[in-house]
A = this chain, B = another copy of it.
Amino acid sequence: MDKTKKVSITVIRRLPRYYRYLSDLKREGIERISSDDLSVRMGVTASQIRQDLNNFGGFGQQGYGYNVIMLHSEIARILGLNKNFKAIIIGAGNMGHALANYPNFSERGYEIVGIFDNSKDLIGTFAKEHDTSKSSEIRDIAKIKEFVSKNQVDIAMLTVPSLYTKDIAEMAVSLGIKALWNFSPMDLKLPGDVVIENVHLSDSLMVLGYRLKTLEIEG
């Protein structure tokens, strides 16, 4: 039985943060931690932590706290970090280059296997710094169909201008890609069984502005 099925997406959205904090604890050699101590570190209430983590069974024990290694690996399993997802980037502009060089994706089991653009100036150049392997080479978007038919591609990261996002997204889905990570400032929606995460950088900036205005220090 897969216990994770019943967990709400709201709780799932908080798991990456737990994962990061537990990674830090592991690195520091801390073997167990109480919800109170974790609460102080993370700046959320202990009751929220207990409620969230209770969703995944009995990792916490009264008077003992949480076993860091067990909880860390269980959250990794729930998030599917052991799946070794393969991703392509479509759009090799500044944001595409930034994603190609982002240090944390491969650690988390997300491998960037191809990068595509339509610019003659970019095709044939390398997007990952100090990496001239095929996975770093910017390929002609005209060749994407052939690439996807020959390689496992789970995720398309879309870093194209908003005007083209929908067309490019539909094209990716037509090739069988089931997950889209969209960086255009728009809520991309498509019918069918495709999962989409829209990243809205402005949202986070607006919250920063609000907190600056009200000097709300605790986020």
Query: Do the beta carbons of B197 and A211 come within 8 Å of each other?
Result: yes
Q: Kindly identify, within residues 44 to 96 of chain A, every residue whose CB is under 8 Å from any CB belonging to chain B.
A: 78-81, 83, 85, 93-95
Tell whether A29 is near chain B: CB-to-CB under 8 Å: no
Query: Do the beta carbons of A103 and B211 come within 8 Å of each other?
Result: no
B residues near A79, Cβ cutoff 8 Å: 206-207, 209-210
Q: How far is the CA of A9 from the CA of B216 in the complex (A)?
A: 9
Q: How far is the CA of A13 from the CA of B110 in the complex (A)?
A: 27
Fill in one digit per residue for A20-50: 1 if any B CB lies within 8 Å of its CB, else 0.
1000000000000000000000000000000
Q: With CB as the reference atom, state the residue of chain B lying closest to A197.
A: B208
B residues near A211, Cβ cutoff 8 Å: 9, 12, 179, 195, 197
